[in-house]
Amino acid sequence: MPLTIKRHKRMAVNICLSVLIGTFPIVCGIVTLHSLANRTLEQQSESATKAAIQQFNAMLDSAEGATSDTYRLAGSPCEDVQFLLREQATQRLFVRTVGVTLNDEFYCSSLFGKFFEHIRPTDYVNGQLLLSFGNVVTPDIPVLIYRKSENEKGALAVIDGRYVKNVLQHTGKGGNSVLIVGPRWMSSSGHVFTAEHKKFPIAETRISSKKYFFSVASGFNSGEVLRHIEKNYIDLFGVFIFLGLSAGAFTYWTLGRAIPPSQELKRALSAGEFIPYIQPIVSAEDESWIGAEILMRWNHSSDGLVSPDLFIPYAEHSGLIVPMTQSIMMQVAKQLAPISQKLSKGFHIGFNISNHHCHDIELIHDCQYFLNAFPKDSITLVLEITEREIIEPGATTYELFDRLNNMGVKIALDDFGTGHSSLDYLRKFKVDYLKIDKSFVSMIGEDSLSTHIIESILALSEKINLSVVAEGIETPEQQKYLKERKVKYLQGYLYSRPLPLDIFIEKINQASINNQAQAQLSNS
Ligand SMILES: Nc1nc2c(ncn2[C@@H]2O[C@H](COP(=O)(O)O[C@H]3[C@@H](O)[C@H](n4cnc5c(=O)[nH]c(N)nc54)O[C@@H]3COP(=O)(O)O)[C@@H](O)[C@H]2O)c(=O)[nH]1
């Protein structure tokens, strides 16, 4: 339904909504893939840590075995135990050197035989494990030393750091793992550091061995989540993009589809968007407000105030004009009844009634409801029938107009002279007023044909004793012309534009206050 010029605004709203809805699956996709990638990396990091712990435990089991078998030999001369130490170093997996200590003096090694080095048990975590930067044999290659002692006797088993490095490299699964022994830690590059190991930024898992005094930490560097998504879920991401684009396009298409006019009118009716405006009709004598015409407006939720020319034809076509008019009549009754005593006696309130309504006996009840809302005889209800739609009168129509007449409801023939059926109407129904169409009034002084038509309407109305209302008066010249020809009732922008009901009521209240003040002044 072509409503107003606010199409650009609506299109912008449609685009924004479509983009918003289209973005939703993409954002959901990113969040889902992000948490999926995080979860996978966490699992990888956990399994890498567990695998490393298992392997380090196995290495230290081997070292533990070597020291258990040899520490009792401590105190015996080196020549006597050297062979046994070598046997252990050769047979035990991962163990490179085995040695014995007495009173913390390392005096015999499988590699050198007689040897001398002082041992500080406090260097060992819990007196058991030391991650060393290197030793005499390989000063550049870190070693992991296991120590076993009982009283003054002790044994040491040295594990080559290259085994440790290997484990860290192979269990890492694309991430990083480190071995932490007390205050030192070894990276997968095989270097030993003394500073505290910083947490991995992504998916860090840190587990301590239940058998020995070390822990392993694994995790990933920053950016790994995105790299993981790019590597593993790029197809899935494509699916989310596709869903987003489809949702956006579908939304745009759905919003852009024209809603059937009747559906839109029904929605507006139940939302109470049809509201009455009111245009005063003045007496030619003193220009006082002796009546008013009710004009419907659509207070559209997004388009603002819509002119009736844009929706009345659809409303008439769909038959919805009847409930719409009923709604307007109820609103006017509700708002004007409380101030009826401030209106001039018998104030005329005119409603435009369409063809549909003239075939519906319901109109009687609508008018009765309206009249009942006001004190008896305080107002005059006028139904304006337009020539735009031709009324084909049937039995119901005649009965309807008879009953309306008996109820005191007046009939005005609107847009008189513009259609072909005006005279026909005059013959068939009891008409009370003729309304000269504004198209003739606007031509006063400019077009001789229009003024001839006005003269003819006035002559006719005089003959058949009908009151005339001239509408569309905009200039003092038009007013003067009509007053000179004894037109009794005048309507047009010259007096007032159609007003919202509350403004009209405000003006009536103000006029009533002014009148009272005037009366008091003249009494005093
Ligand atoms: N069936 C129904 N029809 C209705 C209802 N409410 C309005 N209408 C019809 O819609 C047409 C347009 O109405 P609107 O835009 O409200 O225009 C009215 C006046 O605003 C306008 N007018 C009044 N004075 C002047 C003026 O000095 N100059 C000027 N250019 N226009 C003026 O005229 C319209 C009143 O026309 P009419 O009803 O013929 O007296 C219009 O055809 C309405 O009838 C409704 O509730 N039901």
pLDDT at residue 39, as a whole number: 94
- The residue type of 59 is M
Long-range contacts of 236-243 (CB under 8 A, 24+ apart): 236/29, 236/33, 237/29, 237/30, 237/33, 239/29, 240/25, 240/26, 240/28, 240/29, 240/30, 240/32, 240/33, 241/26, 241/29, 243/25, 243/26, 243/29
Q: Is the CB of 438 under 6 A from ligand 1?
A: yes
Q: Is the CB of 121 under 6 A from ligand 1?
A: no
Does a structural domain hold residue 442? yes
289 and 175 share a domain?
A: no
Question: pLDDT tier at 497 (50, 70, 90 boundaries)?
Answer: very high
From residue 431, give the alpha-carbon distance in Å to each of 354, 384, 412: 16, 10, 6
317 and 422 share a domain?
A: yes
Best of 295, 312, 433, 471 to mutate for ligand 1, by most ligand atoms within 8 A of CB? 295
pLDDT at 382 over 50: yes
Neighbours of 6 (CB within 10 A): 15
316 and 450 share a domain?
A: yes
pLDDT at 380 over 80: yes
Backbone region of residue 423 per phi and psi (left: phi > 0; alpha: psi in -120 to 50; beta: other values): alpha
How many helices and strands, by DSSP H and E, does the chain display? 16, 21
pLDDT at residue 5, as a whole number: 47
* Ligand 1 atom 26, closest CA: 472
- The residue type of 278 is I
pLDDT at residue 423, as a whole number: 73
| Tokens 């839109």 -> residue | 264
CATH of the domain at 410: 3.20.20.450
What are the tokens at 73?
A: 């030999």
Please state the pTM of the whole predicted model.
Answer: 0.62
141 and 281 share a domain?
A: no
Q: Is the CB of 296 under 6 A from ligand 1?
A: yes
What are the tokens at 269?
A: 């009716």
pLDDT mean over 442-460: 86
284 and 143 share a domain?
A: no
pLDDT mean over 429-447: 89
Does a structural domain hold residue 233? no
Q: Is the CB of 167 under 6 A from ligand 1?
A: no
Task: Looking at the CA of residue 321, tell me the nearest atom of ligand 1.
Answer: 1
Question: pLDDT tier at 396 (50, 70, 90 boundaries)?
Answer: confident
Q: Is the CB of 358 under 6 A from ligand 1?
A: no
Neighbours of 270 (CB within 10 A): 10
Residues in the chain: 524
Q: Comparing C-alpha atoms, which of 412, 331, 409, 327 is closest to residue 371?
A: 409
pLDDT at 68 over 60: yes
From residue 151, give the alpha-carbon distance in Å to each of 71, 102, 116, 155, 317: 11, 9, 19, 12, 110
283 and 212 share a domain?
A: no
What are the tokens at 408?
A: 């005191």
408 and 317 share a domain?
A: yes
Distance 129 CA to ligand 1 centre (A): 100
CA–CA dist 433, 417 (Å, integer): 13
Distance 333 CA to ligand 1 centre (A): 20
Does a structural domain hold residue 193? yes
pLDDT mean over 207-224: 95
Task: Looking at the CA of residue 415, tell me the nearest atom of ligand 1.
Answer: 39
CB-neighbour burial class of residue 92 (10 A; exposed 0-12, middle 13-18, buried 19+): buried
Task: Looking at the CA of residue 324, tell me the nearest atom of ligand 1.
Answer: 46
Does a structural domain hold residue 339? yes
Distance 388 CA to ligand 1 centre (A): 12
CA–CA dist 381, 364 (Å, integer): 12
pLDDT at residue 450, as a whole number: 79
205 and 310 share a domain?
A: no
192 and 290 share a domain?
A: no
pLDDT at residue 451, as a whole number: 84
Distance 305 CA to ligand 1 centre (A): 14
Distance 295 CA to ligand 1 centre (A): 6
Q: Is the CB of 417 under 6 A from ligand 1?
A: no
Distance 509 CA to ligand 1 centre (A): 25
Does a structural domain hold residue 226? no
CB-neighbour burial class of residue 434 (10 A; exposed 0-12, middle 13-18, buried 19+): buried
> Where in the sequence is the domain holding 365, given as residue range(s)?
276-504
pLDDT at 421 over 80: no
CA–CA dist 376, 388 (Å, integer): 33
Distance 293 CA to ligand 1 centre (A): 9
Using one digit for the tens of pLDDT, what is the confidence trace for 295-320?
999 999 888 899 999 999 999 999 99
Our count of domains for the chain comes to: 2
Distance 275 CA to ligand 1 centre (A): 14
486 and 393 share a domain?
A: yes
The larger pLDDT score, comparing residue 390 to residue 127, is at: 127
pLDDT at 420 over 70: no
CA–CA dist 383, 293 (Å, integer): 10
Does a structural domain hold residue 12? no
What are the tokens at 324?
A: 């719409």
54 and 153 share a domain?
A: yes
Question: pLDDT tier at 229 (50, 70, 90 boundaries)?
Answer: very high
421 and 335 share a domain?
A: yes
Residue 184 pairs in a beta bridge with 181
